[in-house]
Structure 1
Amino acid sequence: MDRIVPGCVRSSRRGRRIMTTQALSSWITLAKDALLIRPRPFEEMAFGRATLRPAIAVVLAVGLIIGLIGALAGVGELVRPQPFSVDDFMTQFEESLRFSESFATDPQAEEFMVMYRDSARAFAQAIAKIMELPTPLPGFFGRLLKWVGAWLSAPLALLGKWFFVSIWIMLFARLLGGRGSLLGYLRASSLSALPHVLGAFAFLPAVGGLMALVGSVWGLVVNYRAVQVSHGLSSDRAVLAVLLPYLVLLLLAAILVGLMVGLMLAGIFSGAQT
């Protein structure tokens, strides 16, 4: 006789749990309520069973959807691959050098830029020759394997990003007085991956960038609710816990850029004096 568990049916023949329509409907409702920032799904995830499996399942499922959208967008390249163009590569390379060339005022810097440009062209020509070499697999099957690999790597990339960001947010939440457990917060914060599906449409010409931005901001708002519910923080402290990791990262990036620009200017001025 089959034993029924919430949302699943256990098969007596194979001993496997099969998801029912009711279970799928409950997951869809949970995702919809999370996207609407309602407290119930976050409470269920944060204070449910002490296991990380539902959180990992949510993130991997979202990653598979993101990867599938990107794979479907790249079907054209799978059938008709774009050849590597040395001229196109050098055009993009020249555009990236425009800012650096404004600092190349002395002869030594100009000579370095010429050598740098020649090296880039030689590199591009080498890549073009490598692309023309025969491969063990026919071209289509090689591209097919790469296409499938790009699709299946999306869930793992999203899983790593989610875990890394969640650990930092957890740290700041604790510093701000949060009382929740790491497991409870990770379960609740997995729902913040849902809006990032919009980022998969970044390839669209006019609205892709806007959709990706909306997905990122929406994900932060969902994460805010996860912090607030799982840690019992006030609204302002939950906002700080979510934003502080990104603000610290921006501050470190600004310091690094400032140091690089300072070293570049110091080198130019010292070269001009000699």
Structure 2
Amino acid sequence: MNAIGEYLNLGLGALFLQEETYARMRDDSRRVVKGLIFILLVGVIVALLAVVGKLLEWSTTPDLSNIRNIVLEEMRNTTWFREMARSPQAMQQFQQGYDLWWQFFGGLFGVNMLGAIANVITNPIVLILRWLVYGVVVFVFARMLGGKGTLSQTLGCTAIAFAPEALGAAQFLPFVQLAGIGIWGLICTYVGVKVSNQMMPWRAFWATLLPFIVVGVITILFGCIGGFALSALGGGR
């Protein structure tokens, strides 16, 4: 229980931008291990609650076969359907097309339980990869801008900056969506970078944003190169 309380306190402190919480994580000798466990907990809890949400959504969603039959009954009451029903060949083609449409697009009306269950594994993995890649890159930029922290200190503080991701757990309620989690997470990351590297605010600001700017520029460049390549191939024909 003490361990759970410790991670809960870390999450709440990070969520509400308490610099002493980030400083405590920075100075902890097990900061990387604790950061990894923190992200695992966030990822698994959010994914498990998403499964609960999908179950609740499934319990309130009409059966797909009933929806299909209701739509067909409504169509049978139309004039064009009665005209078409006079031709057995036309009805056969319609039925084949109707069945094919529901086979491909009917899933849009259903609940993706398998995807929600798979997220229990994939969500923590994705969060950990995001943490490690961003943590290393932001550490490089922080160093370039005069940061004094170590890589492990940066990783420790950026790990608890994932605290806003836990707010996604509220989405276990059917049809609930939350906005602003990404912005809040970015602000938490800024505080984590500033505290872990003992930086001036404006330097920490740029160290936090530069990884995203670089990724954006690279994406645009690759998009342009790909566009030019496709145009060249198309012109060659």
TM-score (normalised: structure 2) = 0.68
| Aligned counterpart, 1:72 | 52
| Aligned counterpart, 1:46 | 26
Q: Give the counterpart letter for 2:192 in structure 1.
A: A
How much identity, in percent, do the aligned residues show?
24
Structure richer in helix, relative to its length? 2
Residue 59 of structure 1, aligned match among 15, 39, 46: 39
Q: Give the counterpart letter for 2:121 in structure 1.
A: L
TM-score (normalised: structure 1) = 0.60
CA apart distance, 1:62: 0.6
5+ unaligned residues in a row in structure 2: which ranges? Answer: 66-99, 105-111
Q: Secondary structure of the equivalent of 1:166?
A: helix
- 1:233 maps onto 2:213 in alignment: no
5+ unaligned residues in a row in structure 1: which ranges? Answer: 1-18, 84-124, 130-142
Alignment RMSD: 3.1
CA apart distance, 1:186: 1.2
Q: Give the counterpart letter for 2:212 in structure 1.
A: Y
| Aligned counterpart, 2:125 | 156
| Aligned counterpart, 2:148 | 179
Q: Give the counterpart letter for 1:257 in structure 2.
A: G
Ranges of 4+ aligned residues in structure 1 off by more than 6 Å: 78-83, 143-146
Q: Provide the C-alpha distance between the structure 1 equivalents of 2:174 and 2:225, rounded to a whole number of angstroms.
A: 36
Q: Is the CA contact 2:142–2:204 (under 8 Å) kept in the aligned structure 1?
A: yes
Q: Provide the C-alpha distance between the structure 2 equivalents of 1:160 and 1:268, rounded to a whole number of angstroms.
A: 37
Residue 36 of structure 1, aligned match among 9, 16, 37: 16
- Residue by residue over 1:35-79, the C-alpha shift from the partner in whole angstroms, topping out at 9 and shown as x without a partner, is 121211001000122452211111111101221232123325699
CA apart distance, 1:148: 3.7
Number of equivalences? 191
Alpha carbons of structure 1 residues 248 and 204: separation in structure 2 relative to 1, 3 Å? farther
After the TM superposition, which of the residue ranges 184-193 and 148-157 deviates more from structure 2? 148-157
Q: Is the CA contact 1:58–1:191 (under 8 Å) kept in the aligned structure 2?
A: yes
Q: Give the counterpart letter for 1:32 in structure 2.
A: L
Alignment of 1:194-233 (within 5 A): 194-199=163-168, 201=171, 208=177, 211-212=178-179, 214-233=180-199
Alignment of 1:1-274 (within 5 A): 19-20=1-2, 24-75=4-55, 76=57, 148-199=117-168, 201=171, 208=177, 211-212=178-179, 214-271=180-237
| Aligned counterpart, 2:96 | none
Q: Provide the C-alpha distance between the structure 1 equivalents of 2:63 and 2:132, rounded to a whole number of angstroms.
A: 35
Q: Provide the C-alpha distance between the structure 1 equivalents of 2:63 and 2:128, rounded to a whole number of angstroms.
A: 30
CA apart distance, 1:221: 0.8
| Aligned counterpart, 1:94 | none
Q: Provide the C-alpha distance between the structure 1 equivalents of 2:115 and 2:220, rounded to a whole number of angstroms.
A: 36
Q: Give the counterpart letter for 1:243 in structure 2.
A: L
- Residue by residue over 1:141-181, the C-alpha shift from the partner in whole angstroms, topping out at 9 and shown as x without a partner, is xx987754432332222112211111111111111111111
